[in-house]
Amino acid sequence: MKRRFLILLTTLFAIAAITLVIIQITQMRESAKMSDNLFNISVNNSIDKVFTQLDQMKVEDYVSQKERYRVLQYRRIDNMNEKMQDIIRDNSELFYDESRIRFGISTQDSATVLPKANLTSQEESTLSQYNTLLSARNRLMNSINYSNEQYRNLVNDHSIDPTKLNFPLLDSLIREELIINGVDIKPAIGILETERDTLYYCSNPGDSAKMRNTPYKYIFHANSIVTNENLYLVLVFPSSPIILTSDANKYTVLSILMIILISALFVFSIRTISIQRKLDEMKTDFISNMTHEIKTPIATIGLACEMLQDESVSSDLATRRNFVSIINDENRRMRVLIETILQSSKMANKNFSLSLKEVDLNQEVQNALQSFQLSIQNKNGLLETDLQPIAGTLYADQLHISNMVHNLVDNAIKYSPSQPHLVVSTCQEGQWAVLRVKDNGIGISKEDQKHIFEKFYRVHTGNVHDVKGFGIGLSYVSQVVALHKGRISVESEPGQGSTFIVQLPLA
């Protein structure tokens, strides 16, 4: 899959995903707006139903229990007054006959029979009934403050005294109607007079400040009469009211989650494809480089063998030794390449284990460096060593430690200029045996340093195209160090050479 196609595919998917997210967010906002509108309509309908119920109630039904008895007493007094007036109106000839009974000009006065007046049994019963009602009414009037205008207005004119309302009843009516209209959020309820900024009632004292600024404010009325335009029933809801949080919002949230999941899977797939593509390229390079690496020594060995078959060359002992040395060096070179590949492949196996024994790091370094003396001399290079004694005991796999040193030195020579200058040193730092391989090569950029220990990765050499290798040496070194529970790092700047530092734990 070409890189340009991957970029195009990723861009198109990103545009599609962003578009879907925008559509979902827009739908959520519209749904939330619609939900708020429906919520407000439901609350308004609920309050209208509450006031309708209050209109259908008597005054004594919506005042507090404490005041209900006094209201009923006033109603009884009014009822007795009406009955007394009916008796007087129906028996006007008797009550206004000054020759028979004495009756005052006020309904507060009792009616008494004059001396020598003759009344029928029916008339005596009427007077007795009137006086009995009058006596009962006077007792009730004396038991309460009948002159209290608030109660008289409450009974006669249906005026609303907010301090005398039955607040538990009001709360239950409101909550019942809200539930009927689909609002299951329990609000705080209050009675507010805006002109005096007086809060007569608040079901939740903690919301008293919010009561004055809530948008849910309704003029309080009962019995279809608004007696105070500044008296409001107010509601405060604890959170943002959204009614349609069931199916629509659930599906919207689920859709967004699915978009996120699909996007994550797409990114993961593209990343996997990209990594696979990169691995394929590295493997192709590896095969190509390995072919060239093996092809060169094979060609050199073949040429040397042909020369040895020439009698003029084979008769010259010095020349023959030179060609045999070339064959031996190239053979060793192929053996190291093949060994590195095989050992790296073995290390990838989870069941791989090291053959640990006591190893002299300085001796292994010296043995490995011997094979590079001739190569460095042929390039007019310089190899310096600074092998300090190591007091601790290093338990390691001798073969892999030797191959590790060989790969580090070989890598330093390959990436150095025509006259390489190498410094190989060892020392002990605490409980660590430290190996440093320093060169004067092309150096490694910060970006390349992040990947040089990855398999098949090769450092970009810029204009240098004659560096041989197949990107497995440093990966193998990193594996060896990791299996020995050690640490490896690199210090390098482009154009200023590199220093590889290996730390191996001592017993």
The reply to whether 404 and 299 lie within a common domain is no
User: How confident is the model over 456-472, as a mean pLDDT?
Assistant: 58
Are 434 and 392 in contact, with CB atoms under 8 Å apart?
A: no
User: Which uninterrupted H or E stretch holds 121?
Assistant: helix 121-143
The reply to whether 167 and 152 lie within a common domain is no
User: How confident is the model over 278-286, as a mean pLDDT?
Assistant: 72
Please give the Cα distance from 388 to 425 (Å, whole number). 7
Please give the Cα distance from 147 to 167 (Å, whole number). 26
Residue 462 lies in a domain: yes
To the nearest whole number, what is the mean pLDDT of the chain? 79
Of 179, 201, 236, the residue at which a domain comes to its end is 236
Q: What is the pLDDT of residue 239?
A: 66
* Range scoring the smallest mean pLDDT among 92-96, 113-117, 286-290: 286-290
Tell me phi and psi for residue 241, to 5 degrees. -80, 115
User: Is 151 exposed, middle or buried (CB count within 10 Å of its CB: 0-12, 13-18, 19+)?
Assistant: buried
Are 238 and 214 in contact, with CB atoms under 8 Å apart?
A: no
The reply to whether 209 and 265 lie within a common domain is no
Flag whether pLDDT at 66 surpasses 90: no
Q: What are 199-247's pLDDT values in tens digits?
A: 888 888 888 888 888 889 998 877 655 567 888 999 998 865 554 445 5
The reply to whether 312 and 460 lie within a common domain is no
Q: What are 374-427's pLDDT values in tens digits?
A: 778 878 889 999 999 998 899 998 888 988 898 899 888 888 877 899 999 999
Flag whether pLDDT at 309 surpasses 70: yes
- Residue 109 binned pLDDT confidence (cut-offs 50, 70, 90): low
59 contacts: CB under 8 Å, gap ≥ 6:
71, 154, 155, 158, 222, 223
The reply to whether 122 and 258 lie within a common domain is no
The reply to whether 208 and 177 lie within a common domain is yes
Indicate which CATH number applies to the domain containing 378: 3.30.565.10
User: How confident is the model over 68-78, as a mean pLDDT?
Assistant: 71
The reply to whether 8 and 95 lie within a common domain is no
The reply to whether 419 and 489 lie within a common domain is yes
- Residue 357 binned pLDDT confidence (cut-offs 50, 70, 90): very high
Looking at the chain, the whole-number percentage of residues with pLDDT higher than 90 is 14
- Residue 326 binned pLDDT confidence (cut-offs 50, 70, 90): confident
Residue 468 lies in a domain: yes
Q: What is the pLDDT of residue 224?
A: 59
Flag whether pLDDT at 366 surpasses 70: yes
Please give the Cα distance from 314 to 290 (Å, whole number). 32
Please give the Cα distance from 234 to 187 (Å, whole number). 10
Domain of 295 in residue numbering reads as: 247-323
Residue 328 lies in a domain: no
User: How confident is the model over 426-438, as a mean pLDDT?
Assistant: 94
Residue 405 lies in a domain: yes
Q: Is the dihedral of CA 283, 287, 290, 292 positive or negative?
A: negative
Q: What is the pLDDT of residue 498?
A: 93
Flag whether pLDDT at 155 surpasses 60: no
The reply to whether 361 and 463 lie within a common domain is yes
Are 202 and 208 in contact, with CB atoms under 8 Å apart?
A: yes
* Range scoring the smallest mean pLDDT among 44-58, 217-231, 282-296: 282-296
Q: C-alpha 292: how far from its chain's center?
A: 53
* Range scoring the smallest mean pLDDT among 27-41, 101-115, 202-216: 101-115
User: How confident is the model over 246-252, as a mean pLDDT?
Assistant: 60
Residue 344 lies in a domain: no
Of 156, 175, 208, the residue at which a domain comes to its end is 156
99-103 LR contacts (CB < 8 Å, sep 24+): 101/127
Residue 375 lies in a domain: yes
- The residue ranking higher by pLDDT, 351 or 402, is 402
Of 134, 156, 178, the residue at which a domain comes to its end is 156
Q: Which parts of 348-443 fold into alpha helices (H)?
A: 361-370, 373-378, 398-414
Q: What is the pLDDT of residue 160?
A: 63
The reply to whether 412 and 462 lie within a common domain is yes
Q: How many domains does the chain contain in total?
A: 4
The reply to whether 365 and 477 lie within a common domain is yes
Looking at the chain, the whole-number percentage of residues with pLDDT higher than 70 is 80
The reply to whether 185 and 37 lie within a common domain is yes
Residue 96 lies in a domain: yes
Residue 330 lies in a domain: no
